[in-house]
Amino acid sequence: MKRSDFIKGFLAVSVAAGALALGATAVSAQTKWNLPNAYPTDNPHTENLVAFAKDVETATGGKLTITVHANAALFKAPEIKRAVQTGQAQMGEVLMSIHENEDPIFGIDVVPFLATSFPESKKLYAASKPAIEKKLASQGIKLLFMVPWAPQGVYAKKDLNSTDDMKGLKWRSYNVGTARLGEMLGMQSVTIQAAELPQALATGVVNSFMSSGGTGFDSKVWESLTHFYDVQAWIPKDATFVNKAAFDALDKPTQDALLKASAAAEERGWKAWEAKTGWYLDQLKTKGMKVQAPSTELASGFKKAGETLTADWLKKAGADGQAVIDAYKKM
């Protein structure tokens, strides 16, 4: 072999080895996270999370990739927060009020008739965000963003002229407040998360529930029930959060990209729900459901039950809770 060929060969091998080493560094610097949620892929919450994950991947040049696991496939809704807290999943999204029993602040958005329109809900969010962030931080969780559902109404299989007509119904609840409402109105209440609702409806385990047009649509509610009363009792929100240690382990540019994508996701999520609220109710109508405002009597029955629930909440939440409500009312 000529000396020049030997050098050429040696160089080629070195370059290849260098490229390999570089490749290896790139691979080991890539962070992969899981993000469980509990709603179908075509639900605006899930679509928003998928768009968020794409934004993060683009902004970080693939350094941080987030896989959204929809439909409660990875963790059931009530387990998601704990999974993030313990680092089994780095991120998660869940209906905040599921965790009201841990701290009343998690249930502030389901205090009846406190914030029933999107602008009110946004104000209540602004007023309560510092307290929610603080509580989550004490659990090792960093809040990234919150996105609302649509105003909550009542699904049934018959005319409801007053809350008396609800006595004895098999009522599906999804948090403390809806369960308590079921008891107060003399119904048989069972807690079922959205992912199991289609089956509970199909098998007749429940024949009434409170939720948004969105979850009614997701559950193909028209296959079992016939009426939707647009009570507009409250607007619950989902929170998307990250394990604090996982966040802290990211380099600064990646953290910044994540926070920027979070702010964009929050804005996009609110807009999506505002835009889709009417669409969902139209879909229910198209499928043959009676979609209507509650009668004065039915509405006043809910208002009365709502007052009891509000008093319960204020008692649990004490001065801290009252301070948040006062701040909200001043906005």
Q: Closest separation between CB of residue 194 and ligand PCA, Å?
A: 4
| Residue closer to ligand PCA, measured from CB, 95 or 201 | 95
| One-letter-per-residue 3-state SS of 46-105 | HHHHHHHHHHHHHHCCCCEEEEEECCCCCCCHHHHHHHHHCCCCCEEEEEHHHHCCCCHH
Nearest to ligand PCA of 38, 298 (CB atom) = 38
Asked whether position 211 contacts ligand PCA by CB under 6 A, the answer is yes
# chain residues binding ligand PCA, by CB under 6 A: 9
Q: How many residues does the chain have?
A: 331
CB of 234 to ligand PCA, least distance (A): 9
The nearest distance, CB 95 to ligand PCA, in angstroms, is 5
Tokens 């941080």, residue?
A: 64
> In this chain, which of 121, 212, 240, 277 binds ligand PCA, going by CB under 6 A?
212
Q: Does 215 bind ligand PCA (CB under 6 A)?
A: yes
Q: Kind and range of the H or E element at 14?
A: helix 3-28
* Residue from the set 40, 177, 182, 214 that interacts with ligand PCA by CB under 6 A: 214
Confirm or reject binding of residue 234 to ligand PCA (CB under 6 A).
no
Residue 291, classed as helix, strand or coil, is strand
DSSP letters, 164-188, are GGGTT-EEEE-SHHHHHHHHHTT-E
Contacts of 112 (CB under 8 A, 6+ apart): 177, 233, 234, 302, 303, 305, 306, 307, 309, 310
Tell me if 215 sits within 8 A of 194, measured CB to CB.
Answer: yes
For residue 115, state whether it binds ligand PCA (rule: CB under 6 A): no
Segment interacting with ligand PCA (CB under 6 A) among 198-206, 212-220, 270-278, 306-314: 212-220
Q: Closest Cα to residue 112, out of 180, 50, 163?
A: 180
Closer to ligand PCA at the Cβ: 56 or 272? Answer: 272
DSSP 309: H
The distance of closest approach from Cβ of residue 150 to ligand PCA in the complex, given in angstroms and rounded to an integer, is 6
Indicate the residue among 55 and 107 with the shorter CB distance to ligand PCA.
107
Backbone angles phi and psi of 167, in degrees to 5: -55, 135
| Residues 137-176 interacting with ligand PCA (rule: CB under 6 A) | 149, 174
95 binds ligand PCA (CB under 6 A): yes
Single out the residue of 83, 84, 194, 289 in contact with ligand PCA (rule: CB under 6 A): 194
Nearest to 98 by CA among 210, 236, 242, 270: 236
Applying CB under 6 A, the span of 159-167, 208-216, 250-258, 321-329 interacting with ligand PCA comes to 208-216
Q: Give min distance, CB of 218 to ligand PCA, in A.
A: 8
Binding residues (CB under 6 A) for ligand PCA: these are 95, 149, 174, 194, 211-212, 214-215, 236
